[in-house]
């Protein structure tokens, strides 16, 4: 079994927050504390070390007590820029990524991803969760920003992003990826609910 101390956690807080009117999403209040701090507290009990990927208000993120790294790629290149930043800074064999805007993610997220990665001898373990589709049907949908990665993937990601690649799924498809469903009877239906607007953020506070 992979030891949690061998896993570094990365909180992705580097976006523009365009759907939140340009606000720095990770610093918005959620149940009395900044969203990214809430995320950090939930993640740090699951891993050995936590970093934050942010592109502005770096001092505010540093005040949470984690190391903060801006994107290594220019122009807000999306989550993969965060993945790459994390892999470059990672000092452990594994890196797990979580976004700053999904504050109710499972407390056993990392252990379940790690178990699946090891069981399938995979390079990447990606979470999936039930979501209602446009026809009202419950479908298992992958959550690409919740990934456990082997640090050896860095070279591959450098090549992919330098070639202009930006989509997580297009990159993970190049590697052995195991999808980990979070649809067991005890799993919360809101575990992977994310807040793109302040209204959605306030709705999540009640769960």
Asked whether the beta carbons of 100 and 35 are under 8 A apart, the reply is yes
Q: What is the pTM of this model?
A: 0.93
Look at the alpha carbons of 194, 197, 202, 203 in this order and tell me if their dihedral is positive or negative: negative
The pLDDT of residue 81 is above 80: yes
Question: In whole angstroms, what is the distance from residue 95 CA to residue 26 CA?
Answer: 20
- Mind listing the pLDDT tens digit for each residue in 21-69? 678 889 999 999 999 999 999 999 999 999 999 999 999 999 999 999 9
Question: In whole angstroms, what is the distance from residue 53 CA to residue 15 CA?
Answer: 9
Please give the full DSSP string across 101-131, using - where no structure is assigned: T-TT--TTHHHHHHHHHHHTT-SEEEEEEEE
Asked whether the beta carbons of 148 and 115 are under 8 A apart, the reply is no
DSSP symbol at 98: E
pLDDT number for residue 135: 83
The pLDDT of residue 12 is above 90: yes
pLDDT number for residue 16: 66
- Mind listing the pLDDT tens digit for each residue in 186-204? 999 889 998 888 888 888 8
Question: In whole angstroms, what is the distance from residue 137 CA to residue 130 CA?
Answer: 10
- Superfamily the domain 4-204 falls into: Spore Coat Polysaccharide Biosynthesis Protein SpsA; Chain A (3.90.550.10)
Domain boundaries, the chain: 4-204
The pLDDT of residue 18 is above 70: no
The pLDDT of residue 92 is above 70: yes
């Amino acid at each position: 079994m992979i030891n949690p101390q061998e896993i570094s956690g990365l909180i992705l807080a580097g976006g523009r927050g365009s759907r939140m009117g340009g606000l720095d999403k990770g610093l918005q209040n959620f149940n009395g504390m900044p969203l990214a701090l809430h995320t950090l507290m939930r993640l740090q009990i699951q891993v050995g070390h936590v970093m934050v990927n942010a592109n502005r208000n770096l001092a505010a993120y540093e005040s949470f007590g984690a190391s903060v790294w801006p994107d290594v790629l220019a122009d807000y290149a999306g989550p993969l820029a965060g993945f790459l930043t994390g892999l470059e800074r990672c000092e452990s064999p594994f890196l797990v990524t979580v976004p700053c805007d999904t504050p109710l993610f499972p407390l056993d997220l990392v252990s379940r991803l790690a178990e699946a990665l090891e069981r399938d001898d995979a390079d990447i373990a990606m979470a999936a969760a039930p979501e209602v589709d446009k026809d009202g049907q419950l479908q298992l949908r992958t959550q690409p920003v919740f990934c456990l990665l082997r640090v050896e993937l860095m070279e591959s990601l450098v090549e992919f992003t330098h070639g202009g690649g930006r989509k997580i799924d297009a990159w993970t498809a190049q590697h052995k990826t195991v999808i980990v469903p979070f649809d067991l009877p005890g799993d919360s239906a809101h575990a992977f609910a994310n807040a793109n607007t302040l209204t959605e953020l306030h709705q999540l506070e009640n769960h």
